[in-house]
Amino acid sequence: MRILLRNPNREVELEGPLSVREVLRRVGVAPEGVLVIRGDTLLTSDVRLEDADRVEVRPVISGGAA
């Protein structure tokens, strides 16, 4: 599966199946600080991801000015 991490943007490839919780543990991200999004759907930590999945790990902190 492909994991897109934001701020800064980078991609990580992991082998499935893995739960969202396990993916976040492997990429070293605190679950409370991010949203995990597949397509346009938010995923909870128990959702199982397969090899073909592509998900975005988006920090909930963003912006700051404009």
List of residues contacting other proteins (CB under 8 A):
6-7, 30, 32-33, 35, 37, 40-47, 58-66
In the complex, minimum distance from the CB of residue 11 to other proteins, in angstroms, rounded to a whole number: 15
Q: How far apart are the first and last CA of the chain?
A: 34
How many C-beta atoms lie closer than 10 Å to residue 66's C-beta?
A: 3
Parallel/antiparallel/unpaired status of strands 34-38 and 41-42: antiparallel
CB of 4 to other proteins, least distance (A): 11
Beta-bridged to residue 56, according to DSSP, are: 4, 37
Closer by beta carbon to other proteins, 26 or else 44: 44
Which of 16/38 has CB closer to other proteins? 38
